């Protein structure tokens, strides 16, 4: 019967290797047959037992599936070398490519989070703040820069003070952006507030999306700027409050269906569009319950009182957001300062925009 003994500790220099080599020596002296396995890419145990540094294959090859365990045994020892570090990276990818960020603060970063192109990867961002892009002219720093991953979800978070780059850029296959405060600030100088560059299945619901007077681009929400990367291209935009502080007209939502494909489906319901501008131009889709408002119609636009006050025009004027192309687009929550969300009870009369209070 075989017995396995593992010696591990996260902290370095705590005597792991020494314990293993001593146990091995002692048990061998006692007449037991012992296989020592080095699981550290530094290979200290392999050195101690004088295994040829060129020995091949090693434990790294076994874990990467290139060799059997038996082939990697050399003089009753399974050695390790730097190929083990490679195998660890591969295994980490197999075990779980989901990352959750909760209550994280990213300030003055070149790209708050820069995600690779891995369609198995998923990123969830909750109750976090991304702000104050470095003021590097031509640097194009986005507050969040997400590659072609499987799914990006952002909720209860704040994005502010961009500079030339975008507040949120994603190429994910699926994006769910809900109940956030994506607001560059009155003097903000970002480009797009949200760029869903590669199209995909995108749900943008219950957000405040604000563009400042120094914005680099009249568009607040851009979809499909880089063309088509995924088979399913549908954009659902519901109950967002878009606010534009500039004096030139904004283009609140721009769908590049000439780039992402004419079969792109766009559904936009109960959005509130504040300040001069057009919601969409030249894109086809299903639009209902969207309303334009002046900045003066909101509670107090200069102190982020971005709700329609009681008795204001458009209150309760939304359409039923519960069955839009088979999907329920009614907001279940709204952004709550300073970060997070608070629940919204189901309503019969919906008000356009992010706030039902």
Residue ranges that bind ligand ATP, judged by CB under 6 A: 12-18, 40, 44
3-state helix, strand, coil in the chain (%, to 5): 15, 30, 55
Smallest distance, ligand ATP to C-beta of residue 36, A:
13
Cβ atoms of 227 and 201 within 8 Å: the answer is no
Smallest distance, ligand ATP to C-beta of residue 26, A:
13
Q: Which of Mg ion, ligand ATP, none binds 15 (CB below 5-8 Å, type-dependent)? A: ligand ATP
Chain residues that interact with Mg ion, rule: CB under 5 A: 16-17, 44
SS3 254: strand
Specify the residue, 18 or 299, whose C-beta has the smaller distance to ligand ATP: 18
Nearest Cα to Cα of residue 353 among 269, 267, 251:
269
Specify the residue, 16 or 239, whose C-beta has the smaller distance to Mg ion: 16
Smallest distance, ligand ATP to C-beta of residue 42, A:
6
Cβ atoms of 164 and 190 within 8 Å: the answer is yes
Specify the residue, 8 or 262, whose C-beta has the smaller distance to ligand ATP: 8
Smallest distance, Mg ion to C-beta of residue 11, A:
11
Specify the residue, 44 or 71, whose C-beta has the smaller distance to Mg ion: 44
DSSP string for residues in 159-227: EE--BBS-SEEE--SEEEEES-EEE--TT-B-S-SEEETT--EEEEES-EEEE-TT-SSSEEEEE-TT-
DSSP string for residues in 289-307: S-EEE-GGGSSBGGGTB-S
Q: Which of ligand ATP, Mg ion, none binds 254 (CB below 5-8 Å, type-dependent)? A: none
Specify the residue, 63 or 268, whose C-beta has the smaller distance to Mg ion: 63
Smallest distance, ligand ATP to C-beta of residue 88, A:
15
């Amino acid at each position: 019967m075989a017995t396995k003994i593992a010696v591990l500790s996260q902290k370095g220099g705590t005597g792991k290797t020494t314990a293993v080599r001593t146990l091995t020596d002692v048990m061998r002296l006692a007449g037991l047959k012992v296989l020592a396995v080095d699981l550290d890419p530094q290979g200290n145990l392999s050195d101690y037992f004088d295994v040829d540094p060129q020995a091949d294959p090693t434990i790294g090859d076994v874990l990467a599936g290139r060799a059997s365990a038996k082939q990697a045994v050399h003089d009753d020892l399974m050695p390790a070398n730097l190929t083990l570090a490679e195998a660890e990276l591969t295994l980490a990818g197999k075990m779980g490519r989901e990352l959750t960020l909760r209550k994280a603060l990213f300030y003055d970063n070149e790209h708050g989070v820069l995600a690779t192109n891995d369609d198995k990867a998923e990123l969830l961002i909750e109750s976090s703040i991304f702000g104050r892009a470095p003021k590097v002219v031509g640097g194009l720093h986005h507050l969040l820069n997400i590659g072609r991953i499987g799914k990006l979800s952002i909720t209860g978070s704040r994005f502010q003070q961009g500079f030339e780059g975008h507040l949120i850029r994603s190429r994910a296959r699926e994006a769910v952006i809900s109940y956030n405060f994506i607001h560059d600030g009155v003097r903000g100088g970002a480009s797009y507030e949200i760029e869903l560059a590669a199209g995909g299945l995108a749900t943008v619901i219950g957000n405040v999306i604000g563009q400042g007077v120094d914005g680099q681009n009249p568009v607040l929400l851009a979809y499909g700027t880089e063309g088509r990367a995924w088979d399913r291209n549908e954009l659902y935009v519901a109950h967002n409050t878009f606010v534009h502080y500039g004096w030139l007209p904004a283009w609140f939502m721009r769908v590049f269906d000439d780039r992402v494909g004419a079969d792109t489906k766009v559904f936009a319901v109960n959005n509130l569009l504040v300040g001069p501008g057009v919601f969409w131009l030249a894109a086809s889709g299903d639009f209902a319950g969207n309303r334009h408002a002046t900045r003066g119609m909101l509670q107090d636009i200069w102190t982020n009182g971005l709700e329609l006050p009681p008795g204001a025009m458009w209150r309760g004027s939304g359409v039923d957001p519960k069955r839009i192309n088979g999907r329920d687009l009614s907001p279940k929550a709204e952004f709550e300062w300073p970060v997070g969300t608070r629940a919204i009870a189901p309503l019969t009369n919906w008000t356009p925009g992010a706030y039902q209070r």
